[in-house]
Structure 1
Amino acid sequence: MWSILRRCAAVLTSAALVGGLAGASPVLADDFSRVDRDPVEGTAVVLTDGDELPTALFSLRLGGSDSVGAYTATAEGEVQPRTAYVESAWDDSTQWSETDAATGPADRAAWVVANSYPSVGLTELALASETVFLDERQAIAGTQAALWHVLDGAELDPAANDVAVAALYEHLVAGSESAPDESAAPSLEITPSQIEAVSPEEPLGPITVTSAGTAPVQLSVRGAPAAWLVDAGGEQVRRVRGGATVYLDVDPSVPAGVVTLHARGSDVPLPEGRLFTGRDGVRTRPLVTAEPGTTTSSTAATLTWHAEAPEAPPSPEPRPPETVLPSPESASGAERPVEVPDATPSDEPTREEEERVGGDGLAGTGTWLSGLLVIAGALVVSGLLILVLGRKRRN
């Protein structure tokens, strides 16, 4: 008995483990980035509104791989410690995508970090900014202030800051104004990210998987039990190269379903100037990478299909309104008074009551006389019985 129970418990435990693994998200621990150590502090800067803000160069570990330098994209807020970061597209935020400038903020930010510290050495950077000397703290401050300007609109007060910091700031801001439009796509991307179809007779797609790396990208689907990824020839696929096109083949017996397509790439090159935000909407200051690196990246897309809705029965035609002919009075212009029945109860008897009751208010004579005759007969009978009983007693 106990052996049977132990075997059942083992089966249930295995089933629960498999179910948990099947339902788990394919985004593993090394698919997101973290600020992994204390930042390198820069010189504090003063803005034109009088605010004095600290600057720093953070260390961002990319998906469990390289650690690269990163600056904050906004002047306000805090970098939450041990917060998970993920790569984001610049176009996902209207703060940076909606601008009237000829050169977009993302392009200007990429130019700033590519032409400043730590991508460029301190001596070379001092010569480019036409300053005599530039140390690490000054370089961090000038670069951070320039990023805040092109991304967040912050203005540096030249008179209230270090001369070298102000010189580097002016050099980077002016140079970014003519930055080329080189906004690259994310390191790993699925296009389109959403597909919806009604009663699909053909596989859903095409779906393009783009990767900045040369290594194959792993693909998987979660959701409907009868759906497979196939290539243009109908062969099932689980790994593709960047730029490949795939389709979602759906079992016709499944009328509706939702599938999440996951893509995961390893050792994906990541150039400087990429935007990282808090994972799952966590509120933390966004970061901009200041050095190139490699990362383990993942992304997803949603595919939905459903059966065609049945046709609704035709609604009844509306009946034309009835035409009311005007009365002669209304046609002549005189309004006819409306008679309102008197709701006050009357004390006079109705015709039915007058038929049951005589004119003097008494009941009808026929019914009244019958009742008197019945009473008289009963009295006579009672008297006779009394006489008979009296005679019998005397005898």
Structure 2
Amino acid sequence: MRGGIAVLAAAAAVMVSAPSALADDGAARGRVVEDAGTVGYRINLDGGGDYIAKLFGFKLSDGKSLKLYCVQITVGMRTDVDMVETPWNKYPAADSPFNKNSDKINWVLHHGYPGLTLDEVGAALTKQGVKVHDGISEREAIAATQAAVWHFSDGVNLNLQKPLAEANPAEANADVAALYSYLIGDQNKGIGAQPKPTLNISPAKADGKAGTKVGPFSVATSGDVTSLTTELPDGVKVTDADGKELKTADVKDGSKLFVDVPAGAKPGDGSFSLKVTGELDTGRLFVAENYARKPAQSLIVADSEKTQVAAKAGASWTEAGAVPSTPAPSTTPGGAPSGGGELANTGVDAAVPFGIGGLLLGGGALLLLVNRRRSRA
């Protein structure tokens, strides 16, 4: 973020709590807390411009904390909007280098700071034959790591001749340049697999019939399931594929859940919820809610602590044997079904009701004729 933007937006750092740590689709959400971050240095970029490198403090709606770097250098930071966990392929700028370099950014986060400790970062440089001066300081590590992230997310380059914009020792400039060069260099082969979601249930909604198992609902989690709760009518249960009712301890990453509805159940619906304890892994992306209306600098997780998150899925069902209603086919002005296709086959010959009706109508007419002849006799 440009240093002139009132030191990373001087908005009031008030955390507005939401009822849970999740968006409606189960994604984690939270807000930047301005005073909770750690400033590195103001850095120079090739072509002009100086920007403050900062490791941001971020508070989830459940009160737990994350540390994040930004991945949109020219978009202003905001502390007054919710940031929602978002898949890499939903990055809000379609033409951004982020989309082709996300695996490189992930490698930077795992090999820079705080993905590695300061001692580990210094040791990695020493192993490459790079001299550092009294180790790498936290400010140097933050400046170099953020600059490397921006290199891949925004296509900008650190000025290696004078990395630091302010009057700082030559040793600090050299250390920042060395770490930055390492993080964007040949050693960076990328970490292509997107971090596994802390918790996701897919699909979020499924339909079926009484007498069947509605589902499956697939569970993806990087944490430990701590709660399975249901809001279902009597007799309706959450089970596995064999119909065994599931308890919390039975559910884990990769589990497939079903809503088992008895054959005699009336049409209805219900839901179940899971909670897990886990970490929002390094590399998770957070994008502003309603980004199109209120753009805010997107963020990516550099470090996290354990947090509890939850997700919910729903099911609905019709009566056993009920045939879903079929809309009448649209017709052309001449009255024929549009598209030239046949009427949907629902398992009953459409001519049968008309044949039976014709027989009943013919039989009634014959009986009426016989009665009239008898009355004349």
For this structure pair, what is the TM-score category when the shorter chain's length is used for normalisation? 0.5 to 0.7
Q: Match of 2:197?
A: 186
Separation in 1 of the partners of 2:64 and 2:84?
A: 14
On the 8 A contact 2:97/2:153 being kept in 1, the answer is no
- The separation in 1 between residues aligned to 2:230 and 2:19, in whole angstroms, is 8
TM-score, with length taken from structure 1: 0.59
Quote the Cα distance in structure 2 between the aligned partners of 1:317 and 1:279: 47
1:88 touches 1:186 (CA, 8 Å); kept in 2?
no
Distance 1:200 1:83 in 2: 43
Deviation of 1:56 (Å): 0.7
Specify which of 239, 246, 250 is matched with residue 257 of structure 2. Answer: 246
Question: For the residues of structure 1 that align with 2:308 and 2:94, how far apart are their CA atoms?
Answer: 25
User: Match of 1:77, SS?
Assistant: coil
Deviation (angstroms), 1:96 = 7.9
Unaligned runs of 5+ residues in structure 2 are 1-17, 165-172, 336-377
> After superposition, where does 1:63-82 map in structure 2 within 5 Å?
64=62, 66-81=64-79
Find the residue that maps to 1:55 and give its secondary structure.
strand
The residue that corresponds to 2:239 in the other structure is 230
CA distance change for structure 1 residues 53 and 229 in 2, over 3 Å: closer, same or farther? Answer: same
Classify the secondary structure of the residue corresponding to 1:59: strand
Q: What is the letter of the counterpart of residue 155 of structure 1?
A: N
Classify 1:216/1:121 alpha carbon distance in 2 versus 1 (closer, same or farther; 3 Å). Answer: closer
Q: How many residues are aligned here?
A: 290
For the residues of structure 1 that align with 2:121 and 2:290, how far apart are their CA atoms? 37
Task: Please give the secondary structure, in 2, of the residue aligned with 1:110.
Answer: helix
Matching of residue 106 in structure 1 with residue 96 in structure 2: no
Please report the RMSD computed on the Cα atoms of aligned residues, expressed in angstroms: 4.1
Report the CA distance between 1:249 and its aligned residue.
Answer: 3.9
Question: What does the per-residue CA deviation read over 1:285-330, in whole Å, with 9 as the maximum and x for residues that have no partner?
Answer: 22222224211122344656687233527969949xxxxxxxxxxx
SS in structure 2 at match of 1:108 = helix
How many angstroms does 1:98 deviate by?
9.3
Is 1:142 aligned to residue 182 of structure 2?
no
Once the two structures are superposed, what CA deviation does each residue of 1:104-128 show, in whole Å capped at 9, x if it has no partner? 5333222212211223343543454
* Contact 2:213/2:260, CA 8 A, preserved across alignment: yes
For 1:314 and 1:230, the matched residues in 2 are separated by 41
| 1:35 equivalent in structure 2 | 32
Instruction: Name the amino acid aligned to 2:114.
Output: P
* 1:221/1:228 contact within 8 Å kept: no
* Superposition deviation, residue 166 in structure 1: 2.5
CA contact (8 A) 1:226 1:254 kept: no
Q: Contact (CA 8 Å) 2:41, 2:139: kept in 1 or not?
A: yes
Counterparts of 1:106 and 1:80, CA distance in 2: 23
Where 1:111 maps in the other structure, the secondary structure is helix
Quick check: which one's helix share is greater?
1
Identity of aligned residues (%): 24
**2-structure distance, mates of 1:173, 1:33:** 30
- Paired residues of 2:20 and 2:61 also in contact (CA < 8 A): no
Segments of structure 1 that go 5 or more residues without pairing to the other structure are 1-24, 320-395
Greater gyration radius? 1
Alpha-carbon distance, 1:74 to partner: 1.6
Aligned to 1:295: 307
Shift of 1:186: 0.6
SS of alignment partner, residue 228 of structure 2: strand
Cα distance in 1 for residues equivalent to 2:124 and 2:57: 25
Offset from partner CA, 1:262-288 (integer Å, 9 cap, x none): 4322x3133322223345766432222
CA contact (8 A) 1:68 1:289 kept: yes
Output the CA distance in 2 between the equivalents of 1:71 and 1:316.
58
Q: 1:118 to 1:177 in 2, by over 3 A?
A: closer
CA displacement, residues 221-272 of structure 1 (integer Å, 9 cap, x when unaligned)? 59x9996533324355463521322113457765576x6654322x313332
Deviations, residues 2-50 of structure 1 (Å, cap 9, x unaligned)? xxxxxxxxxxxxxxxxxxxxxxx97369964443443211211223342
TM-score, structure 2 normalization: 0.62
Say which is worse superposed, 67-76 or 119-128, in terms of deviation. Answer: 119-128
Deviates more, 1:247-256 or 1:158-167: 247-256
Q: 1:118 aligns with which of 114, 130, 135?
A: 114
**CA separation in 2, counterparts of 1:276 and 1:84?**
9
Describe the shift of the 1:285–1:316 C-alpha distance in structure 2 as closer, same or farther (beyond 3 A).
closer
Cα offsets for 1:57-90 (capped at 9, x unmatched): 1122355465342211221223322654443322
